[in-house]
Amino acid sequence: MLDRYPREVKLVFKNFPLPKDRFARKAAGAALAANAQGKFWEFHNKLFESYRTINDAKIDDIARELSLDMEKFTRDMMSPVLQGLIARDVSNGRKIGVRGIPTVFINGKILRKRSLEGFQQMIEAELKKRK
């Protein structure tokens, strides 16, 4: 959709680590720490590829695999500012009705039909409202 609507669609990613997953918050912090080194999406994608086996060692393995500066990565991952961003995202998510992940919103409305066709239909409907 980003390729199809480069001027109309913007992707905004928010964190919503599930409390029942004991590594979710750490994984969210790790992805944001990777972002400080320009590797957010690479880290994010590797986390999701191995979401069933995430633990401390796996998070560190991904960071090393992406050639991150490990000292900076570890420091950034635990920074109060970064942890505050995650807490803010969770709080905002709860306020707008996020119950699980992934949850997709288009112009503030939850996307129910999560297929390529569903995305396109909802985006087209929102774009028509602007005319």
CATH number of 24-130: 3.40.30.10
* pLDDT value of residue 126: 92
Q: Residue-wise over 63-101: b if at least 16 C-beta within 10 A, else e?
A: beeeebeeeebeebbeeeebeebbeebbeebeeeebeee
Per-residue pLDDT of the chain (131 residues; tens, 9 = 90+): 889 999 999 999 999 999 888 999 999 999 999 999 999 999 999 999 998 899 999 999 999 999 999 999 999 999 999 999 999 999 999 999 898 888 999 998 999 998 999 999 999 999 998 87
Please report, for the chain, the start and end positions of each structural domain, with discontinuous segments joined by +: 24-130
Between CA 26 and CA 56 the distance in angstroms is 8
Are 35 and 93 spatial neighbours (Cβ–Cβ below 8 Å)? no
Strand residues in 20-79 grouped as ranges (E) = none
